[in-house]
Amino acid sequence: MMQDQIRPYELPGLLDRLPAGITTLSLDCFDTLLWRAVNCPRDVFAEIDLPGGAVEQRSWAERSAAARAYSSEKRAEIHLSEVYRRLHPRADETRVAEAVAAELALEARHCFAFAPTVQLIRAAKVRGLRVILVSDMYMHEGELRALLAAAAGPELLGWIDHVFVSCDHKVGKGGGLFDIVLQTLGLQPQEILHLGDNRRADYLAPQKAGIFAYQLLQFDEDAEQRLRLEAAAAMMIDPAARVRRPVMQLHRATIALRSTKDPAHALGHDVLGPAFHAFARWTKAELDALSGKLGRPVKPLFMLRDGYLPHLCFDALYPEAGAKTVEISRFVAARAGLIDMAALEEHVAEWIDRVPLPALGKQLLLGHHEMARFLKLREKEQRPAFRKAVLGHELSRKILQRAANFGTKLEAHLRAAGVEQGDAVMLVDLGYNGSVQNMVAPVLEQRMRLTVAGRYLLLREEQFSGLDKAGMIAAEGYDNRTLHALTTCVGMVEQLCTVAQGSTVDYAVDGTPVREASDLKAGQNATRDRIQAGCVAFVRAEGKAFHRAPASDDLAARVSAATAALARLMFLPTAAEVALFAAFEHDVNLGTGKLIRLLDNDEAARGLRHGGVAAINSVARMHVPAELQAHGLPLNLSLFTTMRLGLDLRAHDFASGGVEVPVIVASAHDQARLTLTALPTIEGYYRLVVPVGIGRYTIAAQLGQIAECVQIEDAHFLAVEEMDAAEAPDRIAAQTVADGMTMLAPDLYATGPTGLVIVPPPPVPAENNLALVLIFRPVRWRKGDAAAERLAA
């Protein structure tokens, strides 16, 4: 940061930097003293009632009015009434005045005085300094004063000695407004310190006039980028954003006050902070509403492990609510939920083909000796035999009795958390299906006569359970395509919210949790701790940057901003964020003991080279957007758009710009020459597909005819019906032999004009029609090649 720039958290020390002789503190108004609760000024226009939305039309009218004023009068500054005369050319003065008043009312609704700037003004007055405002704005002085009074109160207005507005003087800061300030007040330039956020208007212009100035730098570069991308995410997930509704960002002011530069703290503070501050407020509103509906207190129970960070944030805001944590994993919920034969049948049907058989046996409380007889069978016989046995009379009776005993231990665990017979409880978790609630609500209602509700950060039920469930981000506010898109990346959010302990697999008789050993790395836990500390720091600080909260600070605004922040993190992560959780692992739970890498960058790169952009739409790894981040924003936007809108895009829709490759197909008896088109994938790679059927053919791709230097990425055989599958299960590795090609480095060859890549047939005769897939990258095109010339053109 340059010496002439100052960050918001440094404002308390600004007056100590003043050179001798300063008598007047001059402040810019918007984004220095008055901030807006939205992403950018034009968001305010979204609430103007015009057909199709007012943002574009209101902006067009302003540009048109400014152009007209300059053309006719060489005047660079306009008034808001001129904007509305351009927007409504047939309107009379009464209608224009009403439109101006309506916009000013919207400004008053979204504006707030930035507390550090207010404190600076107060400190300046204590020192005996004059305080003035100098603003480039399309309002008259009286209108700006009225806005200040409405947004910040009359006391602040009383501390302002003079207000200079470009609209009244018909000249802006860069065109001579500071000269008018000096003449009007009878001051010398060296008597004024000016502070504002615009580099040209608030630093260069006053410096030109001889005035000492600082630029207020609201955000560091990373925060500025995140906030812009959050606005983009808001518009992606909400069709009304910046059309009928502004893009709300009430958290901007608190983010501006962050002084810590640690990327982990910044991620927690700037991104998770707004999300879980909103979730805490939403949960408290739901808790109060349900308590009022039932006529008795509802006890909030945050579900560990993933409810750990939500609990920290909720407890920081509402310590009086008495929120507790309980350890009810999906694994223990599955055990306790086996209350009758119907529940057992449903659980077996749901999971028998989804988890390893030993893991399912653990869920059903079966011992190793009871599982041994099934695991001795041939693999295709194991699951049918297991299903039949566990649903039979003898084994099902044992399972249900053990589950009942397990329920007694779960009951003890809840009593240790302060839950009593007949209580109303609210299970709070990230979501997204509420599976734990589905499994334990019947047993808790049966054993303890509890009234059970579930409240989730994100709720997208796969079936309508009929239980008392709600989500902060749910179908009431977003369509199911959007909810589905968000759930695909929820594993990353889970890892940022969890606690550094193993999953609960049992309870002692007194309800003490029995946990699996945690295999997560110490580095992962340490990074997560810093992220969570940043999140809680935001929650504790939020609101302190407001001198007085804006009228638009309501729960709906907080939820929409939180949703956009999470959507941005999920689909448009920054490089710094990806670096933080690149080594993270995810615990699958359900008794599998399985850890999955959150990111697999190598596999993602390989998939892109093999399948191109189309491949990203059908990959089912943990956090694909983070894997794509290094390959550029267009891929992330493509994935986000496709998933959000449910677009039916296929591989051939992306097929363009191919290059023709001569190919020889030879058998023991004859050969044929073909010319096939290799289609581009990404980063200069091409995919050549050669049909070989079920015959024993040798393929020779004459890459030397198109390239002087070529990289061979991969070669494999694939069943034709699996050609468009993202993860084809029966890929057969192919051997390659370079002929007429000189190896320069592994997989990199200098090729003569007759250079060939020869691929023998697969070692095992094919049962289905096969195709050879060759992935290559021409590093240097052969001069004179028509395809290369066409591509270059």
Judged by phi (left if over 0) then psi (alpha if -120 to 50, else beta), residue 543 lies in: left
Nearest to 164 by CA among 179, 153, 151, 150: 179
pLDDT at 160 over 90: yes
CA-based angle 498:500:501, to the nearest 5? 105
Rounded CA-CA distance 554/557 in Å is: 5
pLDDT at 692 over 90: no
- If pLDDT is split at 50, 70 and 90, which confidence band does 639 have? confident
Using the 8-state DSSP alphabet, how is residue 682 labeled? S
When pLDDT is averaged across residues 656-680 and rounded to a whole number, the result is 90
Q: Which residues make Cβ contacts (< 8 Å) with residue 546, sequence separation at least 6?
A: 112, 113, 114, 115, 253, 553
Residue 136 and residue 32 in contact, taking contact as beta carbons nearer than 8 Å: no
Nearest to 211 by CA among 4, 7, 9, 16: 4
What H or E segment, with its residue span, contains residue 288? helix 273-294
Rounded CA-CA distance 184/728 in Å is: 77
pLDDT of residue 517: 77
Nearest to 487 by CA among 609, 562, 552, 571: 571
CA-based angle 438:439:440, to the nearest 5? 105
Give the residues across from 15 on adjacent strands.
none
pLDDT at 295 over 80: yes
Which pair of tokens denotes residue 759?
Answer: 């691929």
pLDDT of residue 695: 76
Percent of the chain with pLDDT over 90: 75
Rounded CA-CA distance 469/438 in Å is: 10
Residue 111 and residue 147 in contact, taking contact as beta carbons nearer than 8 Å: yes
pLDDT of residue 503: 87
- If pLDDT is split at 50, 70 and 90, which confidence band does 791 have? very low
Q: What is the dihedral of CA 531, 534, 536, 540, to 10 degrees?
A: -170
Round the CA-based radius of gyration of the chain to a whole number and report it.
33
pLDDT at 728 over 60: no
What H or E segment, with its residue span, contains residue 324? strand 324-327
pLDDT of residue 789: 47
Note the Cα 115 to chain centre separation in Å: 29
When pLDDT is averaged across residues 499-508 and rounded to a whole number, the result is 90
Beta strands in 443-515 (DSSP E): 451-459, 468-473, 504-507, 513-515
**pTM for this one?**
0.90
Rounded CA-CA distance 321/300 in Å is: 8
Rounded CA-CA distance 558/279 in Å is: 9
- If pLDDT is split at 50, 70 and 90, which confidence band does 572 have? very high
Amino acid, single-letter form, for residue 276: F
pLDDT of residue 787: 47
pLDDT of residue 455: 98
When pLDDT is averaged across residues 188-203 and rounded to a whole number, the result is 96
User: Quick one: three-class SS letters along 365-433?
Assistant: CCCHHHHHHHHCCCHHHHHHHHHHHHCCHHHHHHHHHHHHHHHHHHHHHHHHCCCCCCCEEEEEEEEEC
Residue 629 and residue 574 in contact, taking contact as beta carbons nearer than 8 Å: yes
Any idea which of 185-194, 555-564, 605-614 has the lowest mean pLDDT? Answer: 605-614
pLDDT at 178 over 90: yes
Domains of the chain: 5-219 (3.40.50.1000), 599-653 (no CATH), 655-792 (no CATH)
pLDDT at 785 over 60: no
When pLDDT is averaged across residues 615-624 and rounded to a whole number, the result is 66
pLDDT of residue 621: 63
Phi then psi dihedrals of residue 629, to 5 deg: -55, -40
Helices (H), 160-204: 166-169, 177-185, 199
Phi then psi dihedrals of residue 729, to 5 deg: -75, -20
Helix (H, G, I), strand (E, B) or coil at 157: helix
Residue 755 and residue 749 in contact, taking contact as beta carbons nearer than 8 Å: yes
pLDDT of residue 617: 60
Rounded CA-CA distance 515/667 in Å is: 61
Phi then psi dihedrals of residue 728, to 5 deg: -65, 125
Give the pLDDT confidence of 7-63 residue by residue, as tens digits: 999 999 999 988 889 999 999 999 999 999 999 999 999 999 999 999 999 999 999
Rounded CA-CA distance 351/357 in Å is: 9
pLDDT of residue 793: 42
Rounded CA-CA distance 783/779 in Å is: 12
Which pair of tokens denotes residue 443?
Answer: 């047993």
- Cis (ω within 30 of 0) for the bond into 432? yes
User: Quick one: three-class SS letters along 735-783?
Assistant: CCEEEEEEEEECCEEEEEEEEEEEECCCCCCCCCCEEEEEEEEEEEECC
Any idea which of 250-254, 305-309, 486-490, 508-512 has the lowest mean pLDDT? Answer: 486-490
Any idea which of 127-131, 538-542, 769-773 has the lowest mean pLDDT? Answer: 769-773
pLDDT of residue 786: 46
Rounded CA-CA distance 117/253 in Å is: 11
- If pLDDT is split at 50, 70 and 90, which confidence band does 524 have? confident
Mean pLDDT over the full length of the chain = 91
Residue 539 and residue 276 in contact, taking contact as beta carbons nearer than 8 Å: yes
pLDDT of residue 29: 97
CA-based angle 247:250:255, to the nearest 5? 115
Judged by phi (left if over 0) then psi (alpha if -120 to 50, else beta), residue 593 lies in: left
Q: How many CA atoms lie within 13 A of 145 on its CB side?
A: 14
Nearest to 41 by CA among 173, 204, 152, 198: 198
CA-based angle 470:471:473, to the nearest 5? 150
Rounded CA-CA distance 321/284 in Å is: 8
When pLDDT is averaged across residues 517-528 and rounded to a whole number, the result is 78
pLDDT at 345 over 70: yes
Give the residues across from 293 on adjacent strands.
none
Angle, in degrees to the nearest 10, between helices 221-237 and 555-571? 100
What H or E segment, with its residue span, contains residue 80? helix 80-87
pLDDT at 727 over 60: no
Note the Cα 613 to chain centre separation in Å: 21
Question: b/e for 17-41, b at 16 or more Cβ within 10 A?
Answer: eeeeebbbbbbbbbbbbbbbbbbee
Any idea which of 1-5, 67-71, 120-124, 627-631 has the lowest mean pLDDT? Answer: 1-5
pLDDT at 618 over 90: no
pLDDT of residue 489: 85
Angle, in degrees to the nearest 10, between helices 490-497 and 555-571? 110
Phi then psi dihedrals of residue 315, to 5 deg: -70, -30
When pLDDT is averaged across residues 654-676 and rounded to a whole number, the result is 89
When pLDDT is averaged across residues 629-650 and rounded to a whole number, the result is 85
Give the pLDDT confidence of 90-115 residue by residue, as tens digits: 999 999 999 999 999 999 999 999 99
Q: Which residues make Cβ contacts (< 8 Å) with residue 251, sequence separation at least 6?
A: 270, 273, 274, 277, 538, 542, 561, 565
Q: Which residues make Cβ contacts (< 8 Å) with residue 665, sequence separation at least 6?
A: 671, 672, 673, 674, 690, 692, 697, 698, 699
Count of other CB atoms within 10 angstroms of residue 752: 15
Rounded CA-CA distance 585/595 in Å is: 6
Rounded CA-CA distance 739/722 in Å is: 30
Nearest to 564 by CA among 223, 220, 238, 222: 238
Dump the DSSP string for 564-616. HHHHHHHHS--HHHHHHSTT-EEE--TT---EEES--HHHHHHHHHHH-GGGG
Helix (H, G, I), strand (E, B) or coil at 27: strand
When pLDDT is averaged across residues 189-211 and rounded to a whole number, the result is 96
CA-based angle 637:640:645, to the nearest 5? 120
